Amino acid sequence: MKNISLITRRELQAYLRTMSGYIIIAVMLFIDGLLFNAFAVPGTAKKSSEVLADFFTLTSGITMVGAVFLSMRLIAEERQTGTLALLYSSPIHDLEIVLGKFLAALLFLCLFFLSTSYMPILVAVYGKVSVGHIFAGYFGLLLVGATGLAIGTFGSALTKSQVVAAVLSGVMVLALTTCWLLAKVTERPLTDVINGLAWWGHFDSFRTGLVHVKHVAYFCLVTFLALFAATRVLEARRWR
């Protein structure tokens, strides 16, 4: 745990010292606010719960895309600058490297979630919303962000180019996003299997204020598999 906390603190400081992370968060916040004003709060009357659900829908997509860009540098930059060899020479396990970097990115992503809190507050001021609905929505966003960052970490471990890492991670995220389209042209039981792979179907309950164990388990499983794959990639490269 000590090594993980040290890497997390080191990586979080790197996020806070550079402008790239702030720029990504600012762009995410700008797009989220723009879409919220354009689609979640239209001219026609809407229930507060529906506006809040639309907010979480828009924010989930932005979170998944933003997580890919935030995580593309995690390991690729270390390999590109040659500092990964220093980590290999230190008494630190590959799993500790992956977890430390992942947790730092997740903590930094929480700044984005905190910055978006004014939108649910506006909905609460001008309407009636449940605190449980807000909690469930943000809990779902946290799971979506963790999944996107884990996939991005895996993509970052595959290459030393941050651009290539973002492309690889984006392809994986796109595949999990568009599974529901493929499910429409297939038949059961294949339809159920493909639908189960699409992250959006698992987030749908969170946006409406409901938390189901099976949906939490999906995001945790995908996050675990991506981080496990990233660890195995580092282990394989260590002995080259």
Asked if omega into 42 is within 30° of 0 (cis), the reply is: no
pLDDT > 90: percent of the chain: 49
Q: Over the Cα atoms of the chain, what is R_g? A: 19
- 74 class by beta-carbon count within 10 Å (0-12 exposed, 13-18 middle, 19+ buried): buried
Copy the structure tokens of residue 227: 């981080």
What's the number of domains the chain is made of? 1
Whether 43 has a pLDDT exceeding 70, the answer reads no
* Residue scoring higher pLDDT (195 or 237): 195
Per-residue pLDDT band at 101 (split at 50, 70, 90): very high
**Higher per-residue pLDDT: 179 or 84:** 179
Cβ contact 22:30 at 8 Å: no
For 176-226, write each residue's pLDDT tens digit. 888 877 766 676 777 777 778 888 888 989 999 999 999 999 999 999 999
**pLDDT band at residue 15 using 50, 70 and 90 as cut-offs:** confident
pLDDT-derived band of residue 44, with 50, 70 and 90 as boundaries?
low
Long-range contacts of 138-142 (CB under 8 A, 24+ apart): 138/113, 139/206, 139/211, 140/56, 140/60, 140/203, 140/205, 140/206, 140/207, 140/211, 140/215, 141/56, 141/59, 141/60, 141/63, 141/113, 141/206, 142/110, 142/113
Tell me the mean pLDDT in the region 81-109. 84
Beta strands in 149-200, from DSSP E residues, in sequence order: none
Confidence of residue 41 (pLDDT cuts 50, 70, 90): confident
Residue 49 half-sphere exposure, CB side, CA atoms within 13 Å?
A: 10
Q: Would the CA dihedral through 17, 20, 25, 30 be positive or negative?
A: positive
pLDDT, residue 234, reads: 86
Question: What's residue 42's pLDDT?
Answer: 64
- What is the pLDDT averaged over residues 74-96? 79
Phi-psi region of 237 (alpha: psi -120 to 50; beta: other; left: phi over 0): alpha
In this predicted structure, what is the pLDDT of residue 183? Answer: 67
Higher pLDDT, 89 or 73: 73
The per-residue pLDDT for range 139-187, each reduced to its tens digit, is 999 999 999 999 999 999 998 889 999 999 999 999 888 887 776 667 6
Q: Where is pLDDT greater, at 110 or 125?
A: 110
When the pLDDT of each residue in the chain is averaged and rounded to a whole number, the result is 87
The parent domain of residue 187 ranges over: 2-238
